[in-house]
Amino acid sequence: MSVQSVTPVLNVSSVAASMAWFETLGWKRGFSWNAGGMICGAADSNEHGAANFGSVCSGKAEIFLCCGGQGSRGTILPKFPGDDETDGVWMSWWMESPSDVDALHAVAVANRMTVTYPPTNEPWGVREFHLRHPDGHMFRVSSGLESE
């Protein structure tokens, strides 16, 4: 028996705002849900109110977004670039190449997203930068250095 995939669930303050944040980085909406059930077109809301659960997708990767539940949001702000003492969920996004890491970093900077660690070639053989979601979750955006 083996696990086929893992889908993290992030506790967010707003499903709609989180979806928009991810879309800026090239992710696509998967689905959205509220008290009335599935929301057509993964929209932010419908006649039953705002989405309180949903997903975003990139390639085979998917992240669930839960408004106000299923885990905690980050509450400790980074003290300095590269500060790893923040809370919230940490996860790695694996990109195809180091140039993709740099390209996504450029998108994040251009959109005034919080980058806590710049693109760096690490001694363990990856190029990565750290990106903080507005609700405090941290993403290590990485690629193996041998990819290019």
User: Which letter does DSSP use for residue 99 in this model?
Assistant: H
**CA 41, 53, 15: angle at the middle one, nearest 5?**
80
Whether residue 55 lies inside any domain: the answer is: yes
3-state secondary structure 11-29: EECCHHHHHHHHHHCCCEE
Whether residue 37 lies inside any domain: the answer is: yes
Residue 102 lies in domain:
90-147
pTM: 0.91
Whether residue 82 lies inside any domain: the answer is: no
Domain count, the chain: 2
Whether residue 129 lies inside any domain: the answer is: yes
Same domain, yes or no, for 50 and 96?
A: no
Integer CA distances (angstroms), 145 to 50, 58, 67, 82, in order:
42, 21, 36, 20
Whether residue 98 lies inside any domain: the answer is: yes
Same domain, yes or no, for 143 and 101?
A: yes
Please report, for the domain that includes residue 122, its CATH number. 3.10.180.10
Same domain, yes or no, for 140 and 94?
A: yes
The better pLDDT of the pair 76, 5 is held by 5
pLDDT on residue 4: 87
pLDDT digits (tens, 9 = 90+) for 31-68: 999 999 999 999 999 999 999 999 999 999 999 999 99
Same domain, yes or no, for 61 and 95?
A: no
